[in-house]
């Protein structure tokens, strides 16, 4: 029973790490990445549809994304959705493709993005600690309800703490890597 609680806590901690990596994927680093378009939805015949389901997205160089819709009639809708988004990039439409030029980031903007990354990392740490707290509470209730020895409780809590430390270290490593990427010129 306690092993199941520990496994469940690990699943929640892993989900927190996945969520952090997804959030980091949406942070612009000065390099063009198709991941930046994941949050943008285009009104396609009344249905909000992700850009990558309507068009091919290519990265010909580090500072340019080229969006080539399979259905040319949706070109204006994609352009409008990009303008409405918070990407901070002005698309150029030549009638068959949309080009998104990503200018180099200023030092001030890099610092803002690094701060945003630290916020995401702190949210992930809080989620990991929350999973630890819930697991410890469940272990305590299980020990009391099933009249298990207190040693079982201590072992379970030690296992959860070990997991927590490992996942906090993974969050810190991911943050360090992303900050280096953002601050790189």
Cβ 9 vs Cβ 132: under 8 Å: yes
Q: Tell me: domain 2-26+106-183, CATH 3.40.190.10, correct?
A: no
pLDDT digits (tens, 9 = 90+) for 112-158: 889 999 999 999 999 999 999 999 999 999 988 888 888 888 999 99
In CATH, what is the architecture of 34-101?
2-Layer Sandwich (3.30)
Residue 106 confidence class, pLDDT cut points 50, 70, 90? confident
| Distance from the first to the final alpha carbon of the chain | 51
Q: Which two tokens stand for residue 45?
A: 């015949």
CA angle 77, 80, 86 (to 5 degrees): 135
Q: What is the dihedral of CA 32, 122, 175, 89, to 10 degrees?
A: 10
pTM for the full predicted model: 0.72
**Strands (DSSP E) found in 55-164:** 55-61, 64-69, 92-93, 98-101
Q: What number of CA atoms fall less than 13 Å from residue 50's CA on the CB side?
A: 10
Q: Map out the domains of the chain as residue ranges.
A: 2-26+106-183, 34-101
């Amino acid at each position: 029973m306690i092993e199941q609680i520990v496994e469940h806590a690990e699943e929640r901690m892993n989900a927190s790490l996945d969520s952090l990596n997804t959030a980091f994927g949406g942070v612009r680093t000065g390099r063009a990445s198709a991941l930046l378009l994941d949050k943008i939805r285009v009104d396609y015949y009344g249905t909000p549809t992700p850009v990558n389901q309507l068009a091919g997205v290519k990265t010909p160089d580090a500072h340019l994304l080229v969006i080539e819709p399979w259905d040319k009639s949706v070109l204006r809708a994609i352009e409008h959705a990009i303008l409405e988004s918070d990407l901070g990039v002005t698309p150029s439409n030549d009638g068959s493709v949309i080009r998104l030029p990503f200018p180099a980031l200023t030092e001030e903007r890099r610092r803002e993005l690094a701060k945003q990354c630290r916020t995401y990392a702190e949210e992930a740490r809080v989620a990991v600690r929350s999973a630890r707290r819930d697991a410890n509470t469940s272990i305590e209730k299980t020990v009391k309800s099933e009249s298990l020895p207190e040693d079982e409780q201590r072992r379970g809590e030690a296992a959860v703490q070990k997991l927590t430390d490992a996942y906090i270290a993974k969050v810190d490593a991911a943050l360090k890597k992303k900050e280096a990427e953002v601050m790189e010129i």
